[in-house]
Structures are given as C-alpha cells and as structure tokens.
Amino acid sequence: MNYDMKQSGNRIRQLRMKHGLTQEKVAALINIDRSFYGRIEAGQKGCSVDLFVQLSEIFHVSLDYLILGRHLTAMPESSDMVQLKEDINDLVAHLEQFKSTL
C-alpha cells in the first residue's frame, strides 16, 4: 500500500466534517493558511510529518489511518490512558492474588 495524496486528503476532509469543523478552524489549529489546508484536502498538496501528527491529534486517529487508510481506531485521550493503566495494574494485582491461592 502506498501513500496517495488524494485519498489521504479525502480522509482528512471526511474527518473534519465528522467533527463539525470548518477548513478555517482546522487550518488555525495547525497554524497554516486555509487555502493550503484546502489543497491538502483536495489531494493537491501533501502534509509534512508534523502536520500529520497534529491532524491525528485533532481527529483522534492514527497516523497509519491518515496516511495509508489503515486501522481507523481512535487514539485514546491521555486521561483514558491513565485510567487504562490503573485498570491494568488492578487486574494484574488481582491475578497475582488469585495465583497465590492456587
């Protein structure tokens, strides 16, 4: 699978619309001109790695999805990651306790 600017731009456009954002708003968030952002969505311009990272954070998707269209999974929020780590630690503690009873 190769990087296709048009397909990547289309995914970015769909994500922007799904999040109810305007091109102006997204362009402001990533600190670029709206017309340049419009060319990204149209598949006429590619993104730098920095822009892809910013877009993945704004839309909560993986870089893999933005660039190649694979693995449309939401990136966990940092607060979700903290809770997930706590839950895993609790589970490990419970498993260790159960293991000691065997």
Query: What residue spans define the domains of the chain?
Result: 5-71, 76-102
Residue 73 pLDDT exceeds 60: no
Q: Give CA–CA dist 62/66, Å, rounded.
A: 7
Bridge partner list, 74 = 61
Name the band, by pLDDT with cuts 50, 70 and 90, for residue 78. low
Total residues found in the chain within this entry: 102
Q: pLDDT exceeding 70 applies to what percent of the chain?
A: 88
CATH 1.10.260.40 fits 5-71, yes or no: yes
Residue 82 pLDDT exceeds 70: yes
Q: Average per-residue pLDDT in the chain?
A: 88
Residue 17: partners with Cβ closer than 8 Å, 6 or more residues away = none
Q: Give CA–CA dist 90/12, Å, rounded.
A: 38
pLDDT of residue 85: 79
Question: Global pTM?
Answer: 0.68
Burial of 15 (0-12, 13-18, 19+ CB in 10 A): buried
What mean pLDDT do residues 12-29 have?
96
